[in-house]
Amino acid sequence: MPAPIDTAATAAQAAPAASAAAQSHSTTPVPLHLSVPGYRVALVSIGIAFTLTGLYTGAELAASLGLAQGLRAVLVGCLVLVAMSMPAALMGARTRLSTYMIVLHVFGRRGATLVNLALALVLLGWYALTAELFGRTCYLTVAAWLSASPLPQWVYTVVCSAMVVATAAFGFRAIERLSVAVAPLLVLLSAYVAWRTLDHASWTGLMALPGQGRDLSTGISAVIGGMVVGVVLMPDITRYTRSAADCALVSLAGNGLGNAAALILAMLPALAFGEVDPMKYMASLGLVGAAFVTLLLSTWAINAVNLYSTGLVSATVLRHLSYGWLVAGCGLLGTLLALTGLAEHLIGFLVLLGLVVPPIAAVYLTDFFVLGRQDYSRSDSAANVNALLAGLFGGAVGIASDLSHASITGLPTVESFACAALGYVASEWLRLRLGRARDWRRAPAR
């Protein structure tokens, strides 16, 4: 699914004039005069939902669940995403701060370092996953043109990854603009392929095709996992919006309608042609050239944003390294990870994200909306032990629920989110009753 949303990159996509400002306000509130109309941010969020990874996710869901169950998974998953993203979006609009600053205020400086390390690892996984699928797409395209590729797939993965690393390190501004231009092309291509698919197979026939027996709960968790990092980082773009209505529009457009449309449009041709690789079913429709150009440009752009975001988040942890070295190092690690065959475990990777990432948002949303800590003019550098423990607790509950198939709600993702929030409230109540500071040292007497 999409790259997690980066402050500078997305601000520039939503409002090109705000690009430089995005850099200068990375640690301060965005001034009101830099706000942009909500519909422009919403259009960006829709474009983010349409990626090569999203095409594969929709195809995998269709193959494992069938169309009928797959549609249910998409509907429920997108509803959960919208429910989680709306308060995160509203928090961004109210504080006008980046996610990094929100995490810093809530978790403390040391706690924020651990959270950012976790996010960096997640982003690195996204980069590796997209790099492998990028290489596979190029490999399949050459095979379609020449009947057989003269080079193995891993060579394409390495070359494509090198292109992305060079772009992220030296030419990000250009690829940033390219991603804005290419996003509508992938939306149109996906819609056209789905429309052509219905000439080959009827809707009734596709609905009757069975899946491979994967349970609905796993499908829902995968849908959520595909966009959940963007939910956690939602304040990065909604801090540029003007109202609560704008926040609702962005959440509904991106995590709701855009995500659902991207997955459903990918399901139809995958089932009709019995292929999960987009290049294979697009080749069956005679669209090799158009598909390759569109997928090449869009995936190149989105993975450059992935790597750019990975470098920025890593820089908050490894402060002594320059951005260029971080990008090169992350690109190398991501490429090596891509060569291990991470894409073969796409659904499992997404399910894991859907279990361990939501507790981060649960903690900072609970801190802001439930505990009412909305004054971000001052920060406490001490680690917020309860915030960290609550996040770990929520993730552990989600993983345990998924592995044991003993989920109370049938949605382990929801349980990980809820347990993190409840655990944080309970532990904060206990801490305050005992008169302890955030790091659980005895608070100084007033």
pLDDT of residue 169: 79
pLDDT of residue 86: 95
CA distance 376 to 379: 7
CA distances from 124 to 67, 296, 329 (A): 31, 20, 11
Segments in 15-98 forming alpha helices (H): 19-24, 38-49, 52-95
Per-residue buried b or exposed e for 123-146, using 16+ beta carbons within 10 Å of the residue's own CB: bbbbbbbbbbbbbbbbbbbbbbee
DSSP assignment string, 333-354: HHHHHHTTTGGGGHHHHHHHHH
pLDDT of residue 442: 64
pLDDT of residue 72 exceeding 80, the answer is yes
Q: How many CA within 13 A on the CB side of residue 112?
A: 20
pLDDT band at residue 440 using 50, 70 and 90 as cut-offs:
confident
Cβ neighbour number for residue 177 with a 10 Å cutoff: 15
pLDDT of residue 20: 38
Crossing angle for the helix pair 52-95 and 244-251, to the nearest 10 degrees: 170
CA distance 279 to 431: 56
pLDDT of residue 364: 96
pLDDT of residue 174 exceeding 70, the answer is no
Name the β-bridge partners of 442.
436
pLDDT tens per residue across span 178-190: 666 777 888 999 9
CA distances from 183 to 132, 190, 411, 428 (A): 20, 11, 31, 44
pLDDT of residue 3 exceeding 80, the answer is no
CA distance 366 to 384: 14
pLDDT of residue 110 exceeding 90, the answer is no
- pTM: predicted TM-score of the whole model, two decimal places: 0.88
pLDDT band at residue 315 using 50, 70 and 90 as cut-offs:
confident
pLDDT band at residue 19 using 50, 70 and 90 as cut-offs:
very low
DSSP assignment string, 130-149: HHHHHHHHHHHHHHHHHSS-
237 or 21, greater pLDDT: 237
Tokens read off for 261: 């449309």
pLDDT of residue 380 exceeding 80, the answer is no
Residue 11: phi, psi to the nearest 5?
-60, -40
pLDDT of residue 91 exceeding 90, the answer is yes
Mean pLDDT computed over every residue of the chain: 86
CA distance 234 to 246: 13
Please, are residues 358 and 394 in contact by the beta-carbon 8 Å criterion? yes
Question: Which of 52-66, 221-235, 254-268, 312-326 has the least mean pLDDT?
Answer: 312-326
State the Rg of the chain over Cα. Answer: 21
Q: How many CA within 13 A on the CB side of residue 412?
A: 31
Domains identified in the chain and CATH numbers: 7-347 (1.10.4160.10)
